[in-house]
A and B are shown apart, each in its own frame.
Chain A
Amino acid sequence: KNEVEQSPQNLTAQEGEFITINCSYSVGISALHWLQQHPGGGIVSLFMLSSGKKKHGRLIATINIQEKHSSLHITASHPRDSAVYICAVRGHGDKLIFGTGTRLQVFP
C-alpha cells in the first residue's frame, strides 16, 4: 500500500462541472503539495499547504491534518484543465512522497 493514495485514478467531466480529487496519506508530514502534469510531461506546482485552505483562481486546495486528507477542487472546469494531478507529501527528512496521480479529462 502506497503511503500516499489518490482517488479517483481517472476522472472525466463535462466543461463547467465542479471537480474534486482526493488525497489520503499515512505518514507524518510537514507539508502537502498538489502538482499538475500535462501530456508533455512537465510538472507545475499548484499548491503547497500545511493547514487549512488555499485558493488560486478556480483551484482550491484543503487539508485536514487530523484526518490525513487533502482535496483539490476545480470550479467551472475547462478542457484546458485536462491533466494528471499529483499529490505529494513532504515527510521525515524532507523527502517528497508522491501519489500515482489522477488523470482528469474535461470534455467541451
Chain B
Amino acid sequence: ETGVTQTPRHLVMGMTNKKSLKCEQHLGHNAMYWYKQSAKKPLELMFVYNFKEQTENNSVPSRFSPECPNSSHLFLHLHTLQPEDSALYLCATTRDRSTEAFFGQGTRLTVV
C-alpha cells in the first residue's frame, strides 16, 4: 500500500466511448503525475500537476484530458481513443518536484 489508489484497475473501452481514470492520494503531496507504460517501452510522462495547477503537458493528444479538482484527486478523462492507446496508466505523487515518487497500482486500459 503506497497511499496512492487508482480506479479502476482494469478498463476495456470502445473507440467511441468516454471514460475516466481516477487517482486518489492521502499523503498530503503537492505534485501529481500521469504516466503511460506501453509494452517494452520506458514510462512516458503525460501530465504534471503542482499545487492543483497543470505545469506540464508532454505533447499528449487532446483525446486525453486531465483534471485535478483538489490536492487529493487526479482524473484522466478519455474519449475517442485508439487501439494504440492501450497501455498501463500510472498515477504518481511526490511531496514536491524533487522528492521520492509514490505510485498507484495502475489502470490497465484496453481499447477495442
A33 touches which of B2, B90, B100, B106 (Cβ 8 Å): B100
* Stretch of B17-25, B37-45, B62-70, B77-85 contacting A (4+ beta carbons < 8 Å): B37-45
Chain A residues near B108 (CB-CB < 8 A): 41
Chain B: which residue is nearest A9 at the CB level?
Answer: B40
Which range contains the number of B residues in contact with the other chain? Answer: 20 to 34
Contacting residues, chain B, for A96 (C-beta < 8 A): 43, 45, 101
Write out, one digit per residue, whether chain B residues 24-44 have a CB within 8 A of any chain A CB (1) or not (0): 000000000000010011110
**Contact of B42 (CB < 8 Å), options: A41, A44, A100:** A100
- B55 nearest CB across to chain A (Å): 10
| B interface secondary structure, majority | loop
CA distance A6 to B31 in the complex (A): 27
A42 and B106: CB pair below 8 A?
yes
Task: List the count of A-B residue pairs having beta carbons below 8 Å apart.
Answer: 50
- The majority secondary structure among interface residues of chain A is strand
Which chain A residues border B92 with CB–CB below 8 Å? 43
Q: Contact between B43 and A42 (Cβ–Cβ < 8 Å)? A: no
Docked-complex contact A45 and B102, CB < 8 angstroms: yes
User: Is A86 a contact of B43 with CB atoms below 8 Å?
Assistant: yes
- The interface of chain A, by Cβ under 8 A from chain B, is 2, 4, 30-31, 33, 35, 40-45, 48, 86, 88, 90, 94-101
Report B78 CB to chain A, min CB distance, Å: 18
The 4 A-B pairs of least Cβ separation, nearest first, read: A41-B106, A43-B103, A42-B105, A98-B42
- Which of B42, B98, B104, B105 neighbours the largest number of chain A CB atoms within 10 Å of its CB? B42
